[in-house]
Structure 1
Amino acid sequence: MSGLINPWLALALGLLILLLYEGRVVWIGRRAPHRVARDVHAQMRADWVRALAEKPGFEIVAVQTLRNSLMSATITASTAALCLMGAVTLGGSRLAAGLAGVHAPHDLLPLELLQLLLMGTLFASFVCSTLSMRYYNHVGFAMSLPAGSPQRQAVVGLAVDYIERAGYLYGWSLRSFLSVAPLVVGIVNPVLLPPACVCLVWVLWQFDKPGAITD
């Protein structure tokens, strides 16, 4: 029984570290959006859509820019799907055997929970990337309409909303994919999960800091 205490505490501590960090980022973003990169980038993308709506001749440039973002989301979705299939192939049978003996929540072992979290995180990364691709695709249709035309003006608001959603979803897909690293470390040794989560928080903070902060 004592052998199970440390892994469970390590698992709880690691998840708490990530939840506290994400909560702090959300709290900062709501009070000072200019201090969080994803909010700064969302505003930049919205301004980009509005600016190009009044600039004829930039439709091809806009579509090419969106194509680059669409390709990035495609690569992330494909990689997450391949990793998910690998995780199911390598650990699916062992996980199924372990879950077969679970008749109550206390029967679940840390290793089994970490495997479920790993698969769920990879699936979340895939879903977020796929939804991001969907929104980028629709924004591409809107941005290819002639600038200044009534049709273009009618969809500017929708394009702004979609490109903001696409950016946030792509960001969450990357965050989910990065979260795979501490989960893999935890599967190898659950006690190492908290320090791995601390390392992940440091990496995520580098992503969350905008390039220039103006107070």
Structure 2
Amino acid sequence: MGMSILDYVLVPLGLGLMVAYHVWLLYMVMRHPTKTVIGINSINRRAWVHTMMEDPSKNGILAVQTLRNNIMSSTLLASTAITLCSLVGMLMTQSSPSSSLTLVVNQKHFSLKSFLILSCFLVAFLMNIQSVRFYNHASILINARRSPLLTPEYVADVVNRASYFWSVGLRAFYFSFPLFLWIFGAVPMFLCCVGLVCMLRLLDVMFHGMVAAEEADEFVGDGRGERALSSSQMPS
């Protein structure tokens, strides 16, 4: 079917809802990290890196194994994304030409939807490849000897960047779900966007305080983590 009035209303509304939610989530992660799962995990990863680098000879194997598990997770998502890219590309190229104007218009709409789905999978692939890259760097740096150019804060930043790329890649998969349902109509697509936003809010927002905000803020981003660690007040 061609584009209907519902496509012009519900599709931008659904995508706008998804984008608005992630803009809000980014604001919360940057301004109030202890109220989000992503922020708390980032703080705890920073504390984990400091713990691993206190005694590399003792904790080195554990650190590398943990990072290797993360590399395998990112590799699996990257492989899945590039496989789905190939399948979508095949569907787009195997469409048979037609002289009917209606069929040509419908084919253009199908190609547009397929291209948007393909874009999501390409973004997921690229983000997970970058995640593997940073995890590989971290697996070397975390066992290196201390130097003025190598601090636990720097290694923690590398690990967190890898995790952020992994998260963005996973969000690209989430965006592909409503775009796929758009093939069956604008209403399923919009309902999928609403359902995804509700589900993601339950997964992203920290409803129970696990870390005191004033303690956790000392580990966020601007070098204050070392001062907090020196006073042995690390989050559990």
TM-score per shorter chain, which class? 0.7 to 0.9
CA contact (8 A) 1:53 1:153 kept: no
Give the aligned partner of residue 142 of structure 2. 143
CA contact (8 A) 1:136 1:162 kept: yes
CA contact (8 A) 1:49 1:160 kept: yes
Mapping for residues 40-119 of structure 1, pairs under 5 Å: 40-56=40-56, 57-94=58-95, 110-119=109-118
Partner AA of 1:163 in structure 2: V
**Higher RCO (Cα < 8 Å, 6 or more apart):** 1
Residue 150 of structure 1 aligns to a residue in which SS? coil
1:160 is aligned to 2:156: yes
The worse-fitting range, judged by mean Cα deviation, of 202-211 and 73-82 is 202-211
CA shift, 1:112, in A, is 3.6
Residue 87 of structure 1 aligns to a residue in which SS? helix
Partner AA of 2:69 in structure 1: N
Partner AA of 2:194 in structure 1: V
1:199 is aligned to 2:195: yes
Residue 161 of structure 2 aligns to a residue in which SS? helix
CA shift, 1:64, in A, is 0.3
CA shift, 1:209, in A, is 2.6
**Cα gap change, 1:133 to 1:97, in 2 (>3 Å):** farther
CA shift, 1:76, in A, is 0.5
Q: Which has the larger radius of gyration?
A: 2
Q: How many residues align?
A: 203
CA contact (8 A) 2:35 2:207 kept: no
| Higher helix proportion (structure 1 or 2) | 1
Identical pairs, percent: 26
Partner AA of 2:200 in structure 1: L
Deviation per residue, 1:28-48 (Å, 9 max, x gap): 223311111112111111111
Deviation per residue, 1:133-154 (Å, 9 max, x gap): 0000010001233xxx334972
Gaps of 5+ in 1: 102-107
